[in-house]
């Protein structure tokens, strides 16, 4: 693990031109470092006496390079002393102008004065390791940053507020209490350990875990989105459908088949669900054009990795062998058949194409049928399940997997108990459930797990 007693620094805002940019430091030397290159007020030479800062108030001045006595930027300094900070260490934030050059120059001065460049997510890692937040809350920070819809943001804020952590801790505490009794019954078998029927306790825990898992798929969709591949043969209106759903002209549309040569991705907020639409090149059996062949290969790869497929066919033309071949590629994947060009005279019957899947008739040109298509997408995604807006949703695949393992251990403990086996056999699975739930909040997280989680953060967060 990374050391916690050194001082780290990083640019905490996206690089590029903007109104402001922030260089953040955390650690015991943060205040001393900024004192070495800050001049309060108007630009002047560095003072002989280091400046003082009032905690939690902005101090105006200039960052000055000590080696040249030249101003680097006009800034505002925020000093926040431990322990009431994001990391529970001394934190200094230098609010600069939002250009690449001044931010990098200020960061260089911090590093030159003794700070270390922060690793991805290291500020949030310190907040977790110093006990300010648990692991689920730390992951929620990334969820807030990456939220693409209001629903995804709400889920991340709920998780940051500790709703999921509180539920997990309560269930885990019940298992720990049960495990304590089992261990006592094993270690002190000859003593008078009070009798206890652990069956009802295991059943209560099982029901609570099942309730959490019941909403996990929906929560994951709200947070991470759903990859949706728009597929079909050339010139059936795939790009037109993408533009119609986005309500903007994003893809090039022409009457010439094969206009789309590569996959094009855009995210649509569909009733709170981030739908990652992937417009693909028209799929056909053969092409003499090398670029088109590469596009077809990427289309097939996009279809293979998609969560949902929109199979587009031209309703003004009879079905072709290519339409049926593409339907075969869709296979058992969750899909909708979109019969496009409904503004033209109908010339096809597509009912026998992927018969288990809903069929929607639309016109990407006029917008006819788009609302029905959007409703069908949402209905297909959630399989008709409606969950209350204030319900607790598990929104992380990692959390779902850990809770699922805990549920498996609880079920195994119930089976062991039903077979009349000794308490030490039951305790093995109860211990496994306790450890699995501890992975969610961080009590039993190992170093590799932390590295994988925080490695997904940006530097400076």
DSSP string, 340-359: E-TTS------TTSSTTS-E
Position 45 scores a pLDDT of 77
Helix/strand/coil for 250: coil
What parts of the chain have a pLDDT lower than 50? 250-254, 256-262, 288, 290-292
Position 304 scores a pLDDT of 82
Residues 6+ apart with CB under 8 A from 273: 149, 151, 221, 222, 225, 226, 378, 381
Which CATH architecture fits 138-215+394-441?
Answer: Up-down Bundle (1.20)
Position 117 scores a pLDDT of 96
Residues 6+ apart with CB under 8 A from 40: 47, 51, 59, 60, 61
Beta strands in 99-221 (DSSP E): 116-117
CA atoms of 196 and 181, how far apart (whole Å): 8
CA atoms of 55 and 151, how far apart (whole Å): 36
Residues 6+ apart with CB under 8 A from 135: 128, 439, 440, 441, 442, 445, 450, 453
At 447, list the tokens: 């170093």
Find the DSSP H helices in 188-305: 198-214, 216-224, 238-246, 290-305
CA atoms of 173 and 162, how far apart (whole Å): 16
The CATH label, of 3.60.9.10, 3.40.50.10470, 3.30.70.260, 3.30.1360.120, for the domain at 8-133 is 3.30.1360.120
Bond before 101 cis per omega within 30 degrees: no
CA atoms of 126 and 161, how far apart (whole Å): 18
Position 235 scores a pLDDT of 84
Contact 334, 307 (CB under 8 A): yes
Domain boundaries, the chain: 8-133, 138-215+394-441, 232-382
12: closest CA among 131, 161, 124, 149?
124
Position 95 scores a pLDDT of 97
User: CA distances (Å), 117 to each of 2, 64, 103, 107, 459, in order?
Assistant: 12, 20, 14, 9, 9
| 208-213 long-range Cβ contacts below 8 angstroms, 24+ apart | 208/167, 208/171, 209/171, 209/403, 209/406, 209/407, 209/410, 210/407, 212/167, 212/392, 212/394, 212/403, 213/394, 213/400, 213/403, 213/404, 213/407
* pLDDT tens-digit series, residues 62-90: 999 999 999 999 999 999 999 999 999 99
CA atoms of 435 and 439, how far apart (whole Å): 7
Secondary structure element (H or E) that encloses residue 171, with its range: helix 163-187
Position 190 scores a pLDDT of 59
Secondary structure element (H or E) that encloses residue 40, with its range: strand 38-40
CA atoms of 180 and 443, how far apart (whole Å): 17
At 21, list the tokens: 């940019």
CATH number attached to the domain at 232-382: 3.40.50.300
Beta bridge partners of 336: 310
Beta bridge partners of 73: 63
Pseudo-torsion of CA 444, 447, 453, 458, nearest 10°? 140
Radius of gyration of the chain (CA): 29
Beta bridge partners of 92: 25, 79
Residues 6+ apart with CB under 8 A from 367: 244
Residue 112 sits at the vertex; the CA angle it makes with 109 and 113, to the nearest 5 degrees, is: 85
Position 2 scores a pLDDT of 65
Give per-residue burial for 99-124: e unless 16+ CB within 10 Å, then b: eeebbbbbbebbeebebbebbbbbbb
Contact 85, 91 (CB under 8 A): yes
């Amino acid at each position: 693990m990374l050391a916690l007693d050194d001082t780290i620094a990083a640019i905490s805002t996206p690089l590029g031109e903007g109104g402001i940019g922030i260089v953040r430091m955390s650690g015991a030397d943060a205040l001393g470092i900024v004192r070495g290159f800050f001049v309060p007020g108007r630009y002047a030479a560095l003072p002989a006496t280091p400046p003082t800062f009032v905690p939690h108030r902005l101090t105006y001045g200039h960052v000055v390079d000590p080696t040249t006595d030249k101003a680097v930027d006009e800034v505002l300094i925020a000093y926040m002393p431990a322990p009431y900070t994001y990391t529970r260490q001394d934190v200094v934030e230098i609010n600069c102008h939002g250009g690449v050059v001044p931010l990098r120059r200020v960061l260089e001065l911090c590093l030159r004065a003794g700070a270390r460049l922060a690793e991805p997510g290291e500020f949030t890692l310190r907040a977790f390791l110093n006990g300010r937040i648990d692991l689920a809350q730390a992951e929620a920070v990334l969820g807030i940053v990456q939220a693409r819809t209001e629903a995804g943001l709400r889920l991340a804020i709920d998780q940051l507020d500790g709703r999921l952590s509180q539920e997990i801790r309560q269930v885990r505490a019940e298992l720990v209490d049960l495990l304590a009794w089992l261990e006592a019954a094993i270690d002190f078998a000859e003593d008078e350990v009070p009798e206890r029927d652990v069956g009802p306790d295991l059943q209560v825990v099982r029901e609570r875990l099942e309730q959490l898992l019941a909403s996990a798929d929906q929560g994951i969709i709200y947070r991470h989105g759903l990859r949706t591949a728009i597929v079909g043969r050339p010139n059936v209106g795939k790009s037109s459908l993408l533009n119609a759903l986005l309500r903007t002209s994003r893809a090039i549309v022409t009457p010439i088949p094969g206009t789309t040569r590569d996959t094009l991705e855009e995210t649509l907020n569909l009733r709170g669900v981030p739908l990652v639409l992937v417009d693909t090149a028209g799929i056909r059996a053969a092409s003499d054009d090398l670029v088109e062949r590469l596009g077809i290969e990427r289309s097939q790869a996009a279809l293979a990795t998609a969560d949902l497929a929109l199979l587009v066919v031209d309703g003004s033309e009879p079905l072709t062998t290519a339409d049926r071949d593409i339907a075969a590629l869709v296979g058992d994947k969750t899909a909708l058949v979109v019969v496009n060009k409904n503004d033209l005279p109908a010339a096809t019957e597509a009912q026998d194409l992927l018969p288990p899947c809903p069929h929607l008739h639309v016109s990407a040109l006029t917008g006819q049928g788009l609302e029905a298509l959007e409703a069908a997408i949402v209905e297909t995604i959630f399989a008709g399940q409606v969950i209350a807006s204030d319900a607790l949703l598990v929104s992380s695949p990692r959390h779902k997997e850990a809770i699922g393992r805990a549920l498996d251990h609880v079920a195994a403990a119930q089976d062991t108990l039903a077979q009349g086996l000794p308490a030490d056999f039951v305790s093995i699975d109860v211990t496994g459930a306790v450890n699995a739930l501890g992975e969610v909040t961080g009590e039993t997280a190992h170093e590799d797990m932390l590295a994988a989680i925080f490695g997904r953060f940006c530097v400076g967060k």
